[in-house]
Amino acid sequence: MNYDEKLQHVSVLGAAGKMGSGILLLTAVEMADLSLKPENKGKTFVLNAIDLSDDGLAGLIGYLRAQVQKIAEKKTVWLRQMYADRADLIENYDIIDQYVNDVLQIVRPTTAMETAYRSSLVFEAVTENKDLKVKILKQVDQNNPNKAWFFTNTSSVPINIIEAEAGLNGRVLGFHFYNPPAVQKLVELIVTANTQAEMKQFALDYAKALRKVVVPSNDFAGFIGNGHFMRDALYGIQQAQKLASGRPLYEAVYMVNKVSQEFLVRPMGIFQLIDYVGVDVVQFIMKVMNPFLKDEDLHSDLLDEMMVMGVKGGQMSSGAQKDGFLKYERGAPVAVFDVKSKAYIAISEFAAKCDAELGALPEGYLPWKAAVRIKDSDSHFKPYFASVKSLGTTGGDMAIQYGRNSDRIGRKLVADKVAHNEQDVNTVMLTGFFHAYGPVNNYFE
């Protein structure tokens, strides 16, 4: 079965979810483009959008229609060539409409898992729960006569465990998109010792067609992305707890968040990032990863406490940020959760005092938005962090310690053979987390 044939009958499990809908969009567009090739004219392409949620599926087509239209508007020159033989399609309007219809015609939203039994390729993007994933994949595989290939979007569960428990022997790999899949360029590719070579080649071809940056990760819980993020998050939480002796924890959370965003020039502070991913998801991924780690305990009581209190963060279906460690107004943090009073305390009440204690940012500071555009990042960040170091302030010292720890995590991922090399670690953090500089560097020595 060649590449085009493999993509003729595909299913996405969990298609209405945040990740699933993005994977569905990209795959639908790729399949439609294949269907337009002269050699594929007349062939039927089917993409099952499978999800348990009727509500989720109801909104899916509207989402796809809007997104596909945007994509079509950007490749109209190419589309005019593809539809050159259609005398009835004359204006760009006609051609874009037709393309949107052609993409949507491929997609079959359904709650029936049975439709996946005929697919030759299955994307899995259900809840990050190993037992659930194993159960579903096993069910589909046992009822599917095609020896289908399974791409799981897990960000933390080792693929070899899914492979063994679901009995997929060589027919599963980790194809980990970043959120949101339609925008984020990064994909972590994880194969097991058994993964078929031709399946891996297909995955690389598919990633290339989608214009993704592939970073291979070894099959170790959390892979590279979460391997770094979870440890970095735990460090941030611990720093806040340490800083909280003699002051309320919410002030410490504010300070660590500020240091990790502004002093370290990151797109968001560590607590905002935890909220973005979801307190529940972070707690869950740590729980999945922890049993596989020998010399460390990847666990936070504070996260457990937050979960008990029902403070979960995450995003609404509109993409708006839900409140977690921080409370948001129009996407910007305005208050911090106080675990004692179980209420949010406005940042304006204590920011001045905390800011004074952290001290000012050094001269030459550029916010992340500007710094991320600098091509030769060494030339900016090396002298910048040298000035951070020479500040001698609480904020400066915290930033340097934080940066060193982040660097340590990166090197450990290589030493533990999760990542093949330091460059891969940096690529994941630059591409998947939009950092302005890679964590493995020599800025903090």
For residue 66, state whether it binds another protein (rule: CB under 8 A).
no
Angle at alpha carbon of residue 208, lines to 128 and 153, rounded to 5°: 5
* Region near another protein per CB under 8 A, out of 77-85, 248-256, 260-268, 339-347: 77-85
Report how many residues bind another protein under the rule CB under 8 A. Answer: 11
For residue 80, state whether it binds another protein (rule: CB under 8 A).
yes
CA distances (Å), 216 to each of 35, 191, 255, in order?
Answer: 29, 8, 35
Q: Which lies closer to another protein via its Cβ, residue 33 or residue 141?
A: 33
In angstroms, give the least distance from the CB of 222 to another protein: 39
Q: Which lies closer to another protein via its Cβ, residue 69 or residue 120?
A: 69
For residue 92, state whether it binds another protein (rule: CB under 8 A).
yes
In angstroms, give the least distance from the CB of 83 to another protein: 10
For residue 90, state whether it binds another protein (rule: CB under 8 A).
yes
Q: 173-210: buried (b, 16+ CB within 10 Å) or exposed (e) per residue?
A: bbbbbbeebbebebbbbbbbeebbeebeebbeebbeeb
Question: Site map for another protein, 299-338, x if CB under 8 A?
Answer: ----------------------------------------
> Site for another protein (CB under 8 A): which residue of 39, 91, 131, 363?
91
In angstroms, give the least distance from the CB of 84 to another protein: 8
* Region near another protein per CB under 8 A, out of 47-55, 58-66, 79-87, 436-444: 79-87
> Site for another protein (CB under 8 A): which residue of 93, 309, 342, 423?
93
* Distance from the first to the final alpha carbon of the chain: 53
> Site for another protein (CB under 8 A): which residue of 5, 55, 73, 305?
73
In angstroms, give the least distance from the CB of 267 to another protein: 22
The answer to whether 177 and 184 have CB atoms below 8 angstroms apart is yes
The answer to whether 194 and 168 have CB atoms below 8 angstroms apart is no
Q: Which lies closer to another protein via its Cβ, residue 96 or residue 286?
A: 96
- Encoded amino acid at 235, one letter: Y
> Cβ contacts of residue 365 below 8 Å, gap of 6+?
262, 265, 384
For residue 76, state whether it binds another protein (rule: CB under 8 A).
yes
In angstroms, give the least distance from the CB of 87 to another protein: 7
For residue 77, state whether it binds another protein (rule: CB under 8 A).
yes
389 SS3 class = helix
CA distances (Å), 324 to each of 81, 116, 180, 308, 313, in order?
Answer: 49, 37, 20, 13, 4
* Region near another protein per CB under 8 A, out of 90-98, 345-353, 365-373, 400-408: 90-98
Which residues, 96 to 155, sit near another protein by CB under 8 A? Answer: 96
* Dist CA 24 CA 180 (whole Å): 12
* Dist CA 411 CA 224 (whole Å): 11
* Dist CA 138 CA 170 (whole Å): 14
For residue 378, state whether it binds another protein (rule: CB under 8 A).
no
In angstroms, give the least distance from the CB of 21 to another protein: 24
CA distances (Å), 274 to each of 105, 233, 278, 324, in order?
Answer: 38, 7, 6, 8
* Dist CA 230 CA 222 (whole Å): 8
For residue 290, state whether it binds another protein (rule: CB under 8 A).
no
In angstroms, give the least distance from the CB of 359 to another protein: 36
**CB atoms near residue 134 (< 10 Å):** 19
Contact positions toward another protein, by CB under 8 A?
73, 76-77, 79-80, 87, 90-93, 96
